[in-house]
Amino acid sequence: MAEMVVEGAVTLNVEGAFYNPRMRLNRDLGVAMVRALGISDYLDALAASGARGLRVAKEAGAAAVALNDVSPRAVALIRENARLNGLVGCEVLSSNANVLLHQRRFEAVDLDPFGSPAPFLAAAARSALDYLFITATDTAPLCGAHLKSGIRKYMAVPVKAEHHREMGARILLGAAARELARVDKGVRPLLTHATDHYVRVYLGIAKGAKSADRALESMGYLEQCRSCGLWRTVSGVGCPSSGKCSFCGGRAEVAGPLWLGPIQDPGVIGRALAAMEGSAARSDRGVRLLQACADEIDLPMYYDHHRLCRRFKATPGTASDLVEELRSLGWSASRTHFSGVGVKTDAPIEVLREVLTAPPPRSGARGGSSSHGP
């Protein structure tokens, strides 16, 4: 008996095929991004039931949508679901994804594998002409919980830390940037988010060796201290680390190579928000997530507010209070979607300690001092 589900504007038979309802938000945002970017030629390289690719065809207005899966059962189901939704113009392919990606080129390539996208990155970098979208559900290797696995898959050291979710996203971005650079393509992150059990990135591609060289300028390393929580970024493909924290003198660990450049494009995200309004892809959670990504200041990593308070033996306030206090002192600061207690800021850790340990202001007096500004 068929197992039918409705998602967005499509009805799907998912009997016998991999279909994860927890990834609906991921697909909602994917549809909005395809609409926002005006993509007309799109490949769902690992299509399974076809939910992602068929929704793009039905809801995003892409003129040419191809869906591929190596499983004959999945391909039969995709064809059935395409007919069921009146999408007979979709191209349904049955191929090893890497073979297909080496053989053909597409305006946009979408990788949504079960597990790590690492085995498909090289082929996808060759195939994608203008856009590459990637989902990674292997967050333990990406974020440092399974260190050796992360090194093998992404050729980077993902040190486990309080900002592990953002580190995982930047490790993935760095791996994609390196693969694209090998085929003389540069990259510009448009939207990056870590949600539930996965990391998702949307990349714009610029052709040419010079574009690749510019993209590699955003690669680098993160040097961080376990003792005091200080970190600093080191740009470049080589990392001249002293191994010693400049704040407390503790031992500094090095993570990377990873992406240190911008990871959000507020203009594109704004268009995705507009594309969501009134569409079948709209969800309150999706709108909140996109808005949070657009509002983040685009600096690498974030502080865990609770850990800062424990580290400095400070009475905890709220992360939002800390953001406002830093802004009042002239520093850039914001919350982050990566963590409910995360704070992004360009203020040095000395300033954070001063703000968090300062005595409360007298009644009617304004706390802080503008002399701490940059």
Q: Is 248 known to sit in a ligand binding site?
A: yes
Is 255 a known ligand-binding residue?
no
Q: DSSP states of 256-297 as a string?
A: EEEE-S----HHHHHHHHHHHTTSTT--HHHHHHHHHHHHS-
Please tell me whether 52 is known to bind a ligand. Answer: yes
DSSP string covering 176-227, please?
A: HHHHHHHTTEEEEEEEEEEETTEEEEEEEEEESHHHHHHHHTTEEEEEEETT
List the end-to-end C-alpha distance of the chain, in Å, as a whole number. Answer: 66
Backbone angles phi, psi at 191, to 5 degrees: -155, 135
Does residue 366 have a known ligand-binding role? no
Q: Is 245 annotated as a binding residue?
A: no
Strand, coil or helix: 7? strand
Asked whether residue 143 is marked as a ligand-binding residue, the answer is no
Residue 177 annotated as part of some ligand binding site:
no
CA distance 187 to 181: 8
Q: Is 124 annotated as a binding residue?
A: no
For residue 125, give the amino acid letter: A
Q: Provide the annotated binding site for Zn(2+).
A: 225, 228, 239, 248
Which residues make up each annotated binding site?
Answer: 27, 52, 69, 97, 225, 228, 239, 248
Binding-site residues for S-adenosyl-L-methionine sit at 27, 52, 69, 97
